[in-house]
Amino acid sequence: METLVAVVVVAFLLFTINHSHCFNHHRRSQLQRNSLCAELIQPSGYPCTEHTVETKDGYLLGLQRVSSSHGGGDKNAKPTGPPVLLQHGLFMAGDAWFLNSNEQSLGFILADHGFDVWVGNVRGTHWSHGHTTLSVRDKDFWDWSWQELALYDLAEMINFVYSTTNSKIFFVGHSQGTIMALAAFTQPEIVDMVEAAALLCPISYLGHISSQFVLRLVGMHLDQMLIAMGIHQLNFRSVRIMDSICDDEHMDCSNLLTSITGKNCCFNRSRIDFYFEYEPHPTSSKNLKHLFQMIRKGKFAMYDYGLLGNLKQYGHIQPPTFDVTSISESLPLWMGYGGNDSLADVEDFKHTLDDLKSTPELLYLDSYGHLDFILSMKANEEVYSNIIKFFGSRGSRGMSTSF
């Protein structure tokens, strides 16, 4: 039975990839005309500018800079408050912070509280801009995991914002964005540029993940099958696939999300179709494999290339771990986690806390699932107000902490 399921899933993915060309061509041509600023942020009345960051390995990342809608309508007005970098999770991009109303989306809320908002987009996502030499059709373009996202993408984005603003930055990450952050924060030169960090659904360990859907894929070794079959890009942006799955006759996509992320209490299910206009974004099969390695081994470690590959890559037969205990005690941390989160499990979260030298400020919401922290209609009052007060206690230049 497991073999049959594996064949069906792989066939599904192959169908997605083989039939997504026309849709993706349309999507790419649309995004050539419309940037994230032009498509989602400026229409809501917020000044927004586009920036490009080049990583050390040649990827061109899109960064958006957003300021308050109360700035008199000047599209070129520069924010005066402290910079904050928003880092999205897996299969998402910078649009994730702007998918609800102005009063419910963290990106808009931070801008209206006076922050100089910067929006990160990792390699391979729609709002980033490819590579200096590689095409998205090249196998080598997708030869990365969250390890590179942490040590190249996030490191370069933090450095860019720090250098541009001449100021230490605040950081907010969700899900994979927290994996990237905790790995990056083991590097002292990165921590030196960060004023404080807020982590939503923090992950450094995945040994107790409870999502039965994900655990089944791990048990099927789907990650290894995909790479063995030469599938290096995971891109679910196929009209045929999304339409065939997300309709009343097949499956309500809110139920599909629940089976993966846990029961989300508070996001607006009537906006599911709108969310899927932007999500999901592509990632690499290697990234999926790295995440599955974390689940199988229960370690927060670099990518495992196998015995010989590790010797060549790292000089050791086992991949090095990211030492969470080495994160500076002087870095202020705030962490929000939920009782219904099937991906960032409470037991794994406690493991992270035990490793940290510092004592983060914590917010636990028993009813929240994995997506509620970025899409809940009540997150402004229940989550974001706490983040803004936390940041405000670390520096109040140009921002408001009142609600």
Place of tokens 């083989």: 18
Catalytic residue among 95, 116, 153, 341: 341
Decide: 272 and 253 in contact? Cβ < 8 Å.
Answer: yes
Beta strands 194-200 and 169-174 are: parallel
Catalytic residue flag (residue 175): yes
Tokens, residue 122: 């990792």
Measured in whole angstroms, how far is the alpha carbon of residue 233 from the centre of its chain?
Answer: 17
Catalytic residue among 20, 175, 342, 376: 175
- Report the half-sphere exposure of 121 (CA within 13 A, side-chain side): 30
Catalytic residue flag (residue 330): no
Spatial CA neighbour of 361 closest among 380, 388, 396: 388
Distances (CA, A) of 70 to 75, 79, 330, 395: 11, 11, 34, 21
Catalytic residue among 238, 304, 370, 372: 370
Beta strands 333-338 and 361-365 are: parallel
Residue 53 parent element (H or E): strand 48-54
- What secondary structure does DSSP assign to 270-312, as a single string? GGHHHHHHH-PPPEEHHHHHHHHHHHHH---B-----HHHHHH
Decide: 288 and 294 in contact? Cβ < 8 Å.
Answer: no
User: At a CB cut-off of 8 Å and minimum separation 6, what does 87 contact?
Assistant: 120, 154, 157, 171, 172, 173, 174, 177, 180, 181
Tokens, residue 364: 């636990």
Spatial CA neighbour of 81 closest among 58, 110, 119: 110
Bridge partners, 199 (sequence order): 173, 335
Decide: 127 and 36 in contact? Cβ < 8 Å.
Answer: yes
Task: Give backbone dihedrals phi and psi of 256, rounded to 5 degrees, phi first.
Answer: -60, -45
Catalytic residue flag (residue 341): yes
CA distance 8 to 12: 6
Active site residues: 175, 341, 370
